[in-house]
Amino acid sequence: MAMVNVTIDGVKVQVEAGTTVLEAAHQAHIHIPTLCHLKDVNKIGACRMCVVDVGARALAAACVMPVSDGMVVKTNTPAVRQARKSVLELILSNHERKCLSCVRSKTCELQALAKDLGVDESRFDGANIEYPLDNFGPSIVRDPNKCILCRRCVAACRNVQGIGAIAAVNRGFKTVIAPAFEKKLSETDCINCGQCVVACPVGALREKDDTDKVWEALYDPEKFVVVQPAPAVRVALGEEFGMPIGTRVTGKMSQALKRLGFDKVFDTDFGADLTIMEEATELVSRIKNGGVLPMFTSCSPGWIKYVEHNFPELIPNLSTCKSPMQMEGAIIKSYYAEKAGIDPKNIVVVAVMPCVAKKFEIERPEMETDGMRSVDISITTRELARMIKDARIDFTKLPDEECFDELVSESTGAAAIFGATGGVMEAALRTAADVLENRSVENVDYVATRGIEGIKEATFTLAGKELKVAIANSTGAAKKLIRRIQAGDASYAFIEVMACPGGCVNGGGQPMVNAETRMDIDPRVERAKGLYTEDEKKVIRKSHENPDIKKLYAEYLGEPNGHRAHELLHTHYVDRSKK
């Protein structure tokens, strides 16, 4: 690759040809402010916050301007500073400035820029259009009054996820980011993945807050309130309290949940182990008995809804297994309720998830057992952090010792890695290998399944037979993989799909990471590292060797994929394609 020499604010830097001024400046440790730019998602030069002087007649947008050999860039001249302030004032003139009550206060990129540039009012205030709040769905709230038209959400939905539920509508002053034809978000093919939420630099998109429901349940003397946090939460929650991205806070998390007043603190990792027992057994059965292949995983609710909307012909290929969250909820309201002598109608199961699509999942009619919801409330990692802060708990000073309650608490390393793309596949392979080989296979690290590439492929030899598998993370990548399969260009037995890029660690309910930080740190990678460390530190690393899982099947469920297991742990899906 050809190299070019550039001088930025007097600093000489050598970069690859084709590098943008923004990227070159970043390599030289020179900060250029941005709003619409988001690494790997959006690069359109629309907001003009990143303008710089490159010696041309007009200022250039650094995020889209390629460097040239000998280029001299000035990022902090009076003209540049004034241009940025004017742009910021224009954005603020059309922005609902209720910062104190906004969910993004202190994590808002617009707020941070206003502080950095010393802009506390706008010279351009005038008439504004007041838009209605779109909060009709169970997962995502859309507030156009806070939108700054950066289009990061549009790029995440269309370019990364391949959906296009929202776009720029109308022109000029009346431009708004919205679904077509004045539809509500819940009336579109939106899969509730929340990638638009984590892409948004302000508070124009957010999860529907269900923390009041949790507080109400906690202080209802008639209710027995149980909580279950997902694997990916423990490597992200600490970020809300100033800890480095990817820090493992499993112990502090469980301690905080105890202090919030939950009657029992269980672990969704147990549900992940249970999912592997059912899913690996289902896969082996399909392979041996000529079942529908390839079999797709069914843990990601965004992925499931994507199939229902776009590829309903693949519904028979989906595993019938419920997600770990739903499996654990079903066991809590049946097995645990019987053991504890509690009427399941009085149990409130709260799930803490890295995902906003889980809010949609708990409302699905298919997730009822005997007329009861397996999970009653699902909150995000961010919502849990708000509850901890609301309760004035000093999270960073909590003990690191785990304090999960017994009976459905034991989990394995296989469960921990569920939160990273490829983790479900690796966990399933650990169990499937032992079943097919009829022995304990020593190697448990299927490293070919790891990494953040959109599509990964691997072939493993189990019991003398080749097993071809694939992993896709993001529905955009899944679409490409499905098209290849349908065209006859690829063939697999088992496919893992996560709706979100990087898997659950990068779910729509995880802590916000601003655009500047993402230039240096990939939260998908750092959070996944935490989960793999969690896996390595576990004494037991295969789901089928979990003693609590063995006990559950021996005392209650019988055989994996058996009659009782199917009643509680399996489900079906529906065609939403409108064809």
For the annotated catalytic residues, the residue numbers are 279, 282, 299, 319, 358, 361, 366, 504
Q: Which two tokens stand for residue 164?
A: 């296009």
Total H helices, total E strands in the chain: 20, 19
Residues 6+ apart with CB under 8 A from 483: none
β-pair type (347-353, 224-229) = parallel
Phi/psi for 238 (5° steps) reads -60, -25
Is residue 145 within 8 Å of 130, Cβ to Cβ? yes
Is residue 228 within 8 Å of 352, Cβ to Cβ? yes
CA distance 485 to 525: 28
> 265 by DSSP, 3-state: which?
strand
- Which segments of 230-298 are extended strands (E)? 264-265, 295-296
CA distance 490 to 483: 9
b/e burial code for range 480-519 (CB count within 10 A of at least 16 → b): ebbeebeeeebebbbbbbbbbbbbbbbbbbbbbbebbebb
CA distance 74 to 461: 58
Q: Which residue has the tokens 């939108």?
A: 147
Is residue 549 within 8 Å of 565, Cβ to Cβ? no
Residues 6+ apart with CB under 8 A from 196: 140, 153, 154, 156, 157, 166, 205, 508
**Residue 72 is inside which H or E element, if any?**
strand 72-73
CA distance 420 to 504: 6
151: left (phi over 0), alpha (psi -120 to 50) or beta: left
Distance (Å) of CA 385 to CA 137, 380, 396: 23, 9, 12
- What is the number of other CB atoms lying within 10 angstroms of the CB of residue 548? 16
56: left (phi over 0), alpha (psi -120 to 50) or beta: beta
Q: Which residue has the tokens 């269900």?
A: 210
- The answer, yes or no, to whether the previous bond of 399 is cis (omega within 30 of 0) is no
- What is the number of other CB atoms lying within 10 angstroms of the CB of residue 364? 18
